[in-house]
Structure 1
Amino acid sequence: MTWRVARSLETLRQQFNTAFPQRSKESDGGIGDTNHQNRTSDHNPWVGPAADGLMLVTARDFTHDPDVGMDIDRLTDELAASRDNRIK
């Protein structure tokens, strides 16, 4: 199966890497592990609206690292408040 992470999530990852260059990436991830594969999860590839015909992973984890400003709680609150229609 050929898959990729949704481009919007890759853009977000790049934005986080630029804004917080020293952030830990220890818990970063896109595709789900076997635990995810045994249940419904956006970390599992699915046939989505990808123009390139690839399976899409539409979730991504980012490491909480508030010591360098990467405060996931604050950032997810800001993303939710933005009401961006790409966010599930």
Structure 2
Amino acid sequence: MLPGATLTVYRHPRLAAPVMGYLQNGSVIQILCTAQGDTVVGNNGQTSSLWNGINGGFVPDVFIYTGTDQATMPNCPP
């Protein structure tokens, strides 16, 4: 994320899903599960359809630093 930016938390791993809230840049989150969803373009032009399930919704993985571009947790339940 860009300094001072916020990251939208969505109800489902889709950009058209209802917005559940926002995270400030630098927020520490706990990833509970992962899911495939809409493809999102990150700040550096990287694209990914991987989303991270957190308390309160989903965030695009492309904006979360986990040290890898791969899933770090099991799939979210349907």
Both proteins in one fold, TM over 0.5: no
TM-score normalised over the length of structure 1: 0.21
Structure number with larger C-alpha Rg: 1
More strand by share: 2
More helix by share: 1
Question: Which protein, 1 or 2, shows the higher relative CO under an 8 Å CA cutoff with sep ≥ 6?
Answer: 1
TM-score normalised over the length of structure 2: 0.22
